[in-house]
Amino acid sequence: MTLSNSAYDELMAFQRETEALAQVAGRLGWDQETMMPRGAAGQRSEEMAAMEGVLHARRTDARIAEWLDKAVANDDVARANLRHIRRSHTRMAKVPARLAQELARVTSMAQGIWAEARANDDVAAFLPTLTEVITLRREEAACLAGGGDLYDALMDDYEPGATAATIGAMFDRMRPRLVALRERVLGAAKQPQKLEGTFPQAAQMELTRKLADAFGYDWSRGRIDLAVHPFSSGSGDDSRITTRVVESDPFNCFYSTIHEVGHSCYELGIDPAYRLTPLGGGVSMGVHESQSRIYENQMGRSRAFTGWLFDQMVATFGPLNVTDAEAFYASVNKVHSGYIRTEADEVHYNLHVMMRFDLERALIRGDLAVADLEAAWNDRFLADFGVAVDRPRNGMLQDVHWSCGLFGYFPTYTLGNVYAGCLMQALRKAVPDVDASLAKGDARPATAWLNQNLQRHGGLFEPEEVVTRACGFTPNEGPLLDYLDAKFGEIYGL
């Protein structure tokens, strides 16, 4: 039996309503990307601003501090709840309202300016706004850091407990091995075939629903729709995903779907007792990404699963130019040099992230001037990718993140890949016949293990702790790098 006290109960009741309202705001965001008539955009921005106003007022409500003073935790769940509430309340309290509002205003405006600058390949048009965003975020970081590292203070929002020093050291260990692998792979004599053809939208959507089924997506608590950018949205009993269709490239749709299914299965798999509490969502961006990536890559792009997918594609689209399962596996995993992070293969992806991490860390620390960012980007890209950036939209203007003020977010992508590598190693030990199921298009035994060992805990443990508990060892980059070397070494006959 759980003892309780009234301050804790009142705080949790208040939080529960706040979380319900946050879910509403999230659903509004989903609607905007999927259903909203385009002429409603102006009104919608007022609706969203009103919701944000309500949420901000609740999150800075003076009673929270009083409740936190008096609340007593009588079990691990209560302790974890108070830890989360205290952390976000402390962050809120440190940042002056004036600064928070200014950040909201500038980043909201900056996204439009960035989008136009990207469309026009016009770096100069974006730099003044980017400077403003960075200045404000540095100011915010100074409020939060209390004399500590500015970048750490920002990253803490996305990956509590992570530090730039540790991440940076890990990235520095990973980078040479990845660069070496990419060079060997691109230089290999044996190069996989590329899938070619036209794959009609309706058939892609039909097959993409089967893929979601294969990974155990719960349709009674989710749905899939088309959007410009694939995303997953919502917690608790309503977590929806979107995908996109390019008729010449069905993998775009299929692997976007599997990726978002990973995010949504995490949300839907959290202990129902935590619904609408601080424990009821994924615990960090890195852990979230570990789920989307292990679904998408370690499982979705495995030989076993692509064997099943090959049969499905032939059944759906008729004969392919790639004529057997082995060649299909290679074509799914074809490594290609490219400018764009979101289109990168498993070998290149983390190199994209690492350069962004180094650049944004330097920007926040004041070691890199905004005016020098483009040159720094292009130099680093040439060094790591062996290719010169041809235009800004393929270079420093490609990602939305910085215009949104998301500094400290990029490293969580690679952290997710590292965690996914560790989890897959542990999963293979615990579920030895995982490949046999994947070969039948059934990832559910694997996802059941992930649910039992990681997903169901939601925010109960700290990010690194929950991964460590699931794996049985401290997460490190070894398993991911070994997996990549082995997989691509074999595909490319190295």
Active-site positions read: 260
Burial, 57: exposed, middle or buried (Cβ in 10 Å; 0-12, 13-18, 19+)? exposed
| CA angle in degrees (0–180, nearest 5) for 146-399-298 | 95
104 touches a second copy (CB under 8 A): no
Q: With respect to a second copy, which residue has the nearer C-beta, 276 or 427?
A: 276
The contact mask relative to a second copy for 198-237 (x = CB under 8 A, - = no) is: --------------------xxxxxx------------xx
Q: How far apart are CA 301 and CA 322, in angstroms?
A: 16
Which lies closer to a second copy via its Cβ, residue 19 or residue 159? Answer: 19
Q: Where are the alpha helices (DSSP H) in 120-232?
A: 123-145, 150-155, 164-187, 201-214
Asked whether position 375 contacts a second copy by CB under 8 A, the answer is no
CB of 38 or CB of 98, closer to a second copy: 38
Least separation in angstroms between CB 38 and a second copy: 6
Closest contact distance (angstroms) between CB of 170 and a second copy is: 38
Question: How many residues interact with a second copy (rule CB under 8 A)?
Answer: 37
Whether the Cβ atoms of residue 171 and residue 411 lie closer than 8 Å to each other = yes
DSSP three-state, residue 242: strand
Site string for a second copy, 422-441 (x = CB under 8 A): --------------------
Question: Which of these, 343, 1, 349, lies nearest to 171 by C-alpha position?
Answer: 349
Residue 43 interacts with a second copy (CB under 8 A)?
Answer: yes
Pick the stretch among 20-28, 105-113, 136-144, 339-347 that binds a second copy (CB under 8 A). Answer: 20-28
Q: Which residues from 253-292 bind a second copy, rule CB under 8 A? A: 275-276
Cβ neighbours of residue 75 closer than 8 Å, sequence gap 6 or more: 2
Q: Does 98 bind a second copy (CB under 8 A)?
A: no
If phi over 0 gives left and psi between -120 and 50 gives alpha, with beta otherwise, what is residue 147? left
Nearest to 322 by CA among 338, 304, 307: 307
Residue 220 Cβ, how far from a second copy at the closest point, in Å? 4
Residue (101 or 248) nearer to a second copy, CB: 101
Task: Say if CB 222 and CB 215 are below 8 A apart.
Answer: no
- Give the shortest CB-280-to-a second copy separation in angstroms: 10
**Of the candidates 3, 6, 9, 49, which one interacts with a second copy according to CB under 8 A?**
49
Interface with a second copy by CB under 8 A: which range of 38-46, 164-172, 181-189, 415-423? Answer: 38-46
Distance CA 346, CA 329 (A): 14
Q: Count other C-beta atoms under 10 Å from residue 69's C-beta.
A: 8
Residues that bind a second copy (CB under 8 A): 16-17, 20-21, 23-24, 27-28, 31, 35-40, 42-44, 46-47, 49-51, 53-54, 218-223, 236-238, 240, 275-276
